[in-house]
Chain A
Amino acid sequence: MQMWVYIVRRTLLLIPIIIGVMTITFILISALPTGLRCVSYFPIPRSGDIGPTGPCPGNPTQSNCPNPWWTHCVSVLGLNNPVPLQWATYMYNSLTFNWGTVNLNSYLSTHTEYTFMGGEPVTSALAQVLPYTLELATISLLLILVVSIPLGNLSAANRNRPIDQASRVMSFSGYALAPFLLGSLLLMAFVILIGASNGWHSLTCAASPTYLEFYHSWPANQCFPGGNPPSWLANNIVSSPTGFPTVDAAYHGQWAIAADTLIRLILPAFVIAYGSIAGLLRYVRNSMLEVMNLDFVRTARAKGVPEAIVINRHAGRNSLNVTITVLGLTFATFISGFPVTETVFGLTGVGRLLALSINIPFDYGIVFGSVLLFTYLVVAANIIVDVLYAYLDPRVRLG
């Protein structure tokens, strides 16, 4: 089978999954009362009436006339239609990225950092903060690969020696430490132990989604040691062509800002990666142990190949398949770390948006929107992993 045939076939398998996920969200959203559904789809009218009836236009003393906002919502969402038709409407809306509107009265829109989002479409609100999450995800994925593969190889090569035991304990602690606890502990450790003298205090001051307010929104006395902002902050970045903070800063030639943003992302990326590293480490170790018993490894050793090359080239490359599969499987867990970590470190990503939207009063548009978005990310990552797997192991696409 050609590679592209494999990719197309694998992508087509997505369709039932996406339909299924949307059906689940449809079932859940249908369980909401009509009022809450309408609030998450249409901006609240100026009069503030969100009930089925409201004051009559001609006679303000009476309040039993149909609310035009309500009737509009019911007719557009088809809430009086039979359920299959409602489902079709929901599917159409979701597929055309009509995911609703950010509720003006929700906790999220009243939060000082997010007031500008009130009344915006959910998709544009999510699109504004998605690059930040993607950047964080990229860094933590890199961190996972950079840490878990060499460490797994190392502990397989030194089976039952102290380094193996240490990595085993690390793996266990990764399962047992909640990300919110680990993140807070690390933050406190950095800020309190080495923060005051070395400027790590600024870790809790994270970047805003747009560069116009980037850095300048921070209270200088809290975010910079001694209350003095660095000199390069005087340079404003006026446009953000990609939305990715680091890329934008680099695009404008502001290398200091780019480096600073990257440094701020390392600790959160580590917190997100830690759980996945714990999971992956064991699989890498076990698959290495299996591969190292195979004949070709023995042959390589017999013909005098140095041990480091045997482990890294011969055995390591062959155990990579398992690593990649497991990475794909743990991707959903990996994504689950974002709401917490972004909340702990105050990062302006999709996860933090979701975390704020589940505070009373809820913002159902963002809740459902971010669940759909994260699910698509997981599904897309799974496809990439499958394709990568087929590329690494031709038996998958040929067999």
Chain B
Amino acid sequence: MESTLTATTEETTATTPGRGRRPNPHVAQFLRTFYYLRRNGLAMFGLGVIIALILIALYALTLPIPTQSLAFYCSTNGASTCVPGTPICTYPQGVTAPGPNCYQTPVAGGVSFFPSIIPPTFDLSHFSGGPLPLGSLTIDPSHNAFFNLYDGMLRGSDWSLIISLSIVLTGAAIGAIVGAVAGTFGGLIDEVLMRLVDIFLSIPAILFVIVIIAVLQVSPVFGTFDARIGLLVIGFVVVWWPFYARIVRGQVLVVREQKYVEAARACGAGRGRIILRHILPNSVYPVFIQVSLDVGTIPLFVGTLVFLGFAVIPTSVGSGIFPEWGSITAVAVTPLIGLLTTCQFGQCIIPWWQFFFPGFALFMFAISVNFLSDGLRDALDPRLRR
């Protein structure tokens, strides 16, 4: 009872004219949406996590971490092939530690064990260069080069957000235009565009991305690091726009029959004005929700691509891991599956931190985005408000 009372009062303050000046209707709408959103605990949790991640991404931009492949850490234990990077002191079992901050290579069953692992340390004084607070990830078969997971996750927040936002926003823009054109013009244009959308949607998404990237990566145009990222984005955009086109078109078909569109037409508004000012703004809410859902999904798909063997940064372009949550997780998980088949019963040491930290970041990002968009759907749809 109490909550309904507050709802009425808050709604009144948000919508009714204040002292003297009527508030901007967009602001009022935003305040009302946020009011309903605030009552949804999961959505607020999601919003909090996302804001934190955005702050981390902004912080990461100021750090001297390379944006492309990451700085390696080289084992001092016979590192001959290691790419120059910060050396880390490691030593095999049976030998006394050469000094402080040195890590013993784990041994199981009498054999020096794959992967040679440096466990996470709680010594936070080494955040930016020394032994790794979140553990490390072995990236070469000789087990001498390590990937700093902490750096990777920081830089990964940048790349995950940038890649998924650019894919989803481009896709949504294309989809919104196609859907709006198909919905408003109708007839032959609608038929052709929607058949095109059907064709695109009948190819399973991840396979479509794979085939596009597999074909285009041959081209020398996509030889540099930036172009490889662009290729990734292009592949996803080509696959993603039809989803939005279908949603927008369905919504436009509903909206264009509304009375206010008829009223605008009766006032003599032109077709362009009706589409841009009346139909599109009222059709974008479902797209908005789908966009927010997909922002969380894209890093999962990037990880999937890397897991399947597609190298975002092939050796011809640079060496190392593409510092993005999905791909770090994939790179960390891949050898572990082989490990399960090759090690004997009871002898496996699973370096859990290698996939846990980036995987958890990935999971938290995706699930927070889901919570938030579910909350948004409820807040934006008056029928779902309880």
Among A29, A196, A205, A379, contact of B215 (Cβ-Cβ < 8 Å)? A29
- For residue A306, CB closer than 8 A to chain B, the reply is no
Does B336 sit within 8 A of A, measured CB to CB?
Answer: yes
A370 and B337 form a contact (CB under 8 A): no
Given A175-B370, A181-B359, the answer on whether A359 and B205 have CB atoms closer than 8 Å is no
Instruction: Choose one: B204, B205, B308, B362; the contact of A181 (CB below 8 Å).
Output: B362
Give the contact stretch, choosing among B9-17, B69-77, B118-126, B193-201: B193-201
Stretch at the interface among B97-105, B178-186, B206-214, B224-232: B206-214
**Chain A residues near B314 (CB, 8 Å)?**
360
Chain A residues with CB below 8 A from B201, complex form: 332
Task: Check if A181 sits within 8 Å of B333, measured CB to CB.
Answer: yes
Segment of A43-51, A185-193, A242-250 in the binding face: A185-193
Q: B94 at interface (Cβ–Cβ under 8 A)?
A: no
Residues of A within 8 A of B218 (CB): 32-33, 36
Within 8 Å CB of B300, what residues of A? 176-178
Q: Indicate if A364 sits at the interface (CB-CB under 8 A).
A: yes
Task: Indicate whether B326 reaches chain A with its CB closer than 8 angstroms.
Answer: yes
**B residues near A355, Cβ cutoff 8 Å:** 308-309
Chain B residues contacting A293 (CB-CB under 8 Å) are none
A188-B350, A222-B342, A358-B308 given as contacts; is B202 within 8 A of A378 (CB)? yes
Q: B307 near A: Cβ within 8 Å?
A: yes
Q: Does B311 contact A (CB under 8 A)?
A: yes
Which residue of A is nearest B315, CB measured? A360
Whether the Cβ atoms of B367 and A175 lie closer than 8 Å is: yes
User: What residues of B have a CB within 8 angstroms of the CB of A24 in the complex?
Assistant: 199-200, 203
The total of Cβ contacts below 8 Å across the A-B interface reads 159
Instruction: Determine the chain A residues whose CB is within 8 A of the CB of B211 once the complex forms.
Output: 25, 28, 367-368, 371
Is A71 an interface position by the 8 A CB rule? Answer: no
Chain B contacts of A346 at CB under 8 A? 341
Interface of A is mostly: helix
Q: Does B344 contact A (CB under 8 A)?
A: yes
Tell me if A187 and B337 are in contact (CB < 8 A): yes
* Interface check B296, CB cutoff 8 A: yes
B363 at the interface (CB under 8 A from A): yes
Set of chain A residues within 8 Å of B308, measured between Cβ atoms: 339-340, 343, 354-355, 358
A382 at the interface (CB under 8 A from B): yes
In the assembled complex, A257 has its CB within 8 A of some CB on chain B: no
Task: Known A173-B367, A340-B304; judge A180-B333 contact (CB<8 A).
Answer: yes
Given A192-B348, A343-B308, A356-B309, verify A176-B204 contact (CB < 8 Å). Answer: no
Stretch from A15-23, A55-63, A89-97 forming part of the interface with B: A15-23
A312 is an interface residue with CB less than 8 A from chain B: no
In the bound complex, CA of A28 to CA of B206 (Å): 16
| A2 CB-CB contact with B under 8 Å | no
In this complex, the interface size class of chain A, counting residues with CB under 8 Å from chain B, is 35 or more
B203 touches which one: A32, A172, A358, A375 (CB < 8 A)? A375
B237 to chain A, nearest CB (A): 15
Closest to B305 in A: A358
> In the complex the two chains form, is B207's CB within 8 Å of A374's CB?
yes
| Chain A residue at smallest Cβ distance from B333 | A184
Residues of B within 8 Å of A201, CB to CB, are 345
Within 8 A of B (CB), among A318-375: 332-333, 335-336, 339-340, 343-344, 346, 354-356, 358-360, 362, 364, 367-368, 370-371, 374-375
Residue from the list A176, A180, A192, A375 in contact with B366, Cβ < 8 A: A176
B144 contacts A by Cβ under 8 Å: no
Task: Annotate A149-185 by CB proximity to B: 1 below 8 A, 0 otherwise.
Answer: 0000000000000000000000011011111110010
Chain A residues lying within 8 Å of B370, measured Cβ to Cβ, are 172, 175-176
Tell whether, in the assembled complex, residue B199 and residue A20 are in contact, meaning their CB atoms are under 8 Å apart.
Answer: yes
A residues in contact with B333, CB < 8 Å: 180-181, 184
Q: Complex: how many Å from CA A181 to CA B223?
A: 30
Whether the pair A21, B202 counts as a contact (CB closer than 8 A) is yes
A221 interface residue per 8 A CB criterion: yes
- The answer on a CB contact under 8 Å between B293 and A175 is yes
**Would you give 5 A-B contacts (Cβ < 8 Å), ordered by A?**
A176-B367, A192-B348, A332-B204, A362-B214, A378-B203
Name A residues whose Cβ lies closer than 8 Å to a Cβ of B.
16-17, 20-21, 24-25, 28-29, 31-33, 36, 172-173, 175-181, 184, 187-188, 191-192, 195-196, 201, 204-205, 221-222, 225, 332-333, 335-336, 339-340, 343-344, 346, 354-356, 358-360, 362, 364, 367-368, 370-371, 374-375, 378-379, 382
Q: Which 4 A-B pairs have the closest CB atoms?
A: A20-B199, A176-B366, A176-B367, A178-B300
Query: 10 more A-B contacts (CB under 8 A) besides A173-B363, A367-B214?
Result: A28-B211, A176-B366, A177-B366, A179-B304, A184-B355, A204-B337, A354-B308, A360-B311, A375-B202, A378-B204
